[in-house]
Structure 1
Amino acid sequence: MKIAFPPLCYIIALCTVMFTSCIDTSKATYFNNISNTEFPSEDLQLLEPVIQENDLLSISVNSLNPEASVIFNMPNVSATETSTVSGNTAQASGYLVDQDGFIQFPFLGNIKAAGLTKKALKENITRELERRKLLIEPIINIRYLNYKVSVLGEVARPSVFTIPNEKITLLEALGLAGDLTIYANRDNVLLIREEDGTKKLTRINLTTDELFTSPYYYLKSNDIIYVEANKSKISSTGTARQWLPVVFSALSLTVIVIDLLTR
């Protein structure tokens, strides 16, 4: 009596379904089960970063007397190469904040910059220029030349991004990096931030709406985002996944032998 066995392709398809049926698709998407709602935006003034050592600043000076302002806008010797959001490398020159927190400004000498916001530093420079009668009603504009965030791990394009407008959200940073891969662990994204000489590590869950009320929704300069691989990616390089082709091959051979013996 010949025993009927299901075709080989059916058996392989059944095994594949068994291996993949336990995958939780909610782990691969953002903000699950979020209904229409509103989240209050943070006060952007509270998000203004504080100048730190090794920051590179662009400081431009204008006044009612353009000729008198020229000396304060001479090219600065401190220069560095930065990677822009488009992936290109640009040469930037400006005032480098030294390890003691000072910048060397024309005629004014050493000016304390670290620990201040751009607004506070601008007010200090303006006050000194007027007090020493170097300029009348000077207009100071300060920008960061090395405002950057780093995105590493399970993203399409890990990189360090320079942010020209000095404002970026966590989601925008992930977008610049080409978004998370399918193997990314979306409920345990690590954000590393240095404040007051201390590195702070924070875990963020992107599968819920907690990000929108988090103080880490907006990133700060020098923030590092690390996206770890999920269990599926880790197991794919482990022993179990390495043995999977061997198991399928053995199963295929067994079915073929049984088929030949029952003819």
Structure 2
Amino acid sequence: MQRWTIYNCLFWLIFLTSCGSGRNLVYFSDLKSASANASHIVNEVEPKIMKNDLLGVVVTTTSAESNLLFAANTTTISASGMYEREGFRVDKNGDIKFPVVGNIKLEGLSISEAQKVLERAVDRFVKNPIVTVKYMNFRVTVIGEVNHPATFTVSNEKISILEALGMAGDMTPYGKRENVLIIRENDGQRTTTRVNLNQKDVLNSPYFYLRQNDVIYVEPDKAKAVEYSRSTRSLPVLVAVISGAAVLATALLNRL
């Protein structure tokens, strides 16, 4: 009877310490797998130029001299050690200082709208210019329970939360897919919102497509905290001690 009591206590100790709540690791788990789903994209919004954005602007005309005239006149050294042209920084007033033309307000415009504004401004000096504008600092940051947390520069100014998580190596099994935090700064305000990637409704969320400088934080679940707690790290030693004590007690009982 005493031997059974010892083994019973040991069994329940191991069982209770190994139990953990299950987590839904499936994205959009409420989608019906046996049917096709189609819906109009209603949340795709073209990003707007904001203060402190760095824009690359290229003016193309029939004159090579004119092309150089409207180019950025300063250079920086990239991480690879190569010289490259610096873009045009949107200042605190929402303007860029463009060669020959002067200050041009671009804040609040989309890239396509900014190109039209610049084309009209440059057209006063050269005929039929073609202006190309792109972001040089369109970045998103993914941190928390992902395999490769980092800041990523996006070249096409369009990225969804799923693409950002993919670049970060996806979530670890500890990541709370039902409670992903997105931090966004816009027009002098910082907003935070949480999205549930277990549900298909997030596809229509205004936060599904990210904007420049968005931060995604994947929160760890409680199992991660338990695993890395001091008491849990010492649990294998405790189990080993109890197991040894149980074996010793069994041997002593057999002698009686």
TM-score normalised by the chain length of structure 1: 0.83
Q: State the one-letter code of the partner of 1:150.
A: T
1:225-260 Cα distance to aligned partner (Å, 9 max, x none):
011111001122335524523531342133112221
Q: 1:109 to 1:210 in 2, by over 3 A?
A: same
Question: 1 CA distance for matches of 2:107 and 2:177?
Answer: 35
Structure 2: which 5+ residue stretches go unaligned?
none
Match of 2:27 among 20, 25, 30: 30
Displacement after TM superposition at 1:81 (Å): 5.7
Which stretch shows the higher mean deviation, 236-245 or 138-147? 236-245
The yes-or-no answer on 1:181 pairing with 2:172 is yes
Structure 1: which 5+ residue stretches go unaligned?
83-87
Q: 1:63 to 1:246 in 2, by over 3 A?
A: same
Q: Taking every aligned residue pair, what percent have the same amino acid on both sides?
A: 34
Question: 1 CA distance for matches of 2:137 and 2:10?
Answer: 54
1:177-212 Cα distance to aligned partner (Å, 9 max, x none):
111112212111100111221111010111222221
Question: 1 CA distance for matches of 2:166 and 2:85?
Answer: 25
The yes-or-no answer on 1:54 pairing with 2:45 is no
Displacement after TM superposition at 1:167 (Å): 1.1
Q: Contact between 1:55 and 1:96, CA under 8 Å: does it hold in 2? A: yes
1:118 aligns with: 111
Alpha-carbon RMSD across the aligned residues, in angstroms, is 3.0
Q: State the one-letter code of the partner of 1:42.
A: I
Which stretch shows the higher mean deviation, 192-201 or 31-40? 31-40
Q: Contact between 1:39 and 1:212, CA under 8 Å: does it hold in 2? A: no
- Runs of 4+ in structure 1 off by over 6 angstroms are 10-14, 88-92
Question: 2 CA distance for matches of 1:164 and 1:24?
Answer: 38
The yes-or-no answer on 1:151 pairing with 2:152 is no
1:40-63 Cα distance to aligned partner (Å, 9 max, x none):
24358x521111111111111112
2:196 aligns with: 205
SS at match of 1:61: strand
Aligned length in residues? 251
Q: 1:41 to 1:17 in 2, by over 3 A?
A: farther
Q: State the one-letter code of the partner of 2:37.
A: E
